[in-house]
Structures are given as C-alpha cells and as structure tokens.
Amino acid sequence: MRRPEILLPNAGAPLLNHPVFSEVGELLGFMSIEEGGQLLVGRWVGDFDADKVAAAIGVTLDMIPLGPCRAVLTDGSGATGDWSELVPWMQYDMLPRLVELGVNLVAKVRSADPAARLAHQDYARFAARYISIRLFDDPHSARTWLRQMLAEQQG
C-alpha cells in the first residue's frame, strides 16, 4: 500500500480531526495537532493489516514536523486487526525516525483486539529503552498522562 497523501488545511488553520484516507479512499482515521503544536493525535478506525498500519505511521511521521510535535497519542481503540509482523520494522526503522524528529513521549491506546494488544505490548517494551511510552485502555487517561509529562518537561 502506498502512503496516503496528506491534504492539509490552509497555512495557519488549526488541524483538528483531519481525515486520513488510504490510496483507495478508505477512511483510516483522523489526525489533530494540539497543545500548541506539541501533541500529534492519531485516532484510527476500521480493520488494520500491516500495510494500513505502515501507511498510518507514514502519515504520522510526515505530520510531526508541522507542530513540531514532541508527543504522539495513537488511539487504536476503534481499530482491529493483526499487524504483529510489522513490529520489527517499527522497532528498527520507525522508532529511530521518531526520535530523530524530536518525539520523546508516546501514549498508545490499545485496541480491544487481542492480536493488536499483543503487538502494542511488544513494541512498547522495546521502545521504552529510547522514549517515554505508556499503553492505555482509554484516550482520556492517555491524554492526561501526556499533558502531565509535557508540563513536567516545560519545567
């Protein structure tokens, strides 16, 4: 699957719940930049395989510099699917790029899908060596933790 194109609003316009579509027009989710540009939020919906997860990650990496964002909230509570085969790529390719872009905080809201939950856990265990990452079961708790961590980093 090719990476979906990002059609952004006009310069200076807020980015809230911006839809992200696959190359065939399937809705993958919504992206927002919040907290004064420090937080990128991706809310994903539907059934995801490794290709769709890779496309969503590509959009996320492309959007981080727009903030520039130091924190990412990935909400997979509305998504299902087994993408565990992608975990090694996430660990050894995507994670270094995330760090290079200046992201040091990640909150992941897990899917109820058992296969996806296991993939989240495997990735988070590895990523915790390089960034502050936590897994959550609800978006509110994830957002609260990220806001607290961003405030602490600001001193």
> Residues 107, 47, 59, 99: is their CA dihedral positive or negative?
positive
Q: How many angstroms from the chain centroid is the CA of residue 91?
A: 14
Which sequence spans correspond to the domains of the chain?
18-154
Predicted confidence at residue 140, as pLDDT, reads 97
In CATH terms, 18-154 corresponds, of 3.40.50.720, 3.10.100.10, 3.30.750.24, 3.90.230.10, to 3.30.750.24
CA-based nearest residue to 71, from 149, 138, 127: 149
Q: pLDDT 10s per residue in the chain (155 long)?
A: 444 445 454 444 557 888 988 888 889 999 999 998 899 999 999 999 988 999 899 999 999 998 889 999 999 999 999 989 999 999 999 999 999 999 999 999 999 988 888 899 999 999 999 999 999 999 999 999 999 999 999 87
User: Which residue, chain included where needed, has tokens 């981080």?
Assistant: 64
Q: Per residue in 33-61, pLDDT tens?
A: 999 889 999 999 999 998 899 989 999 99
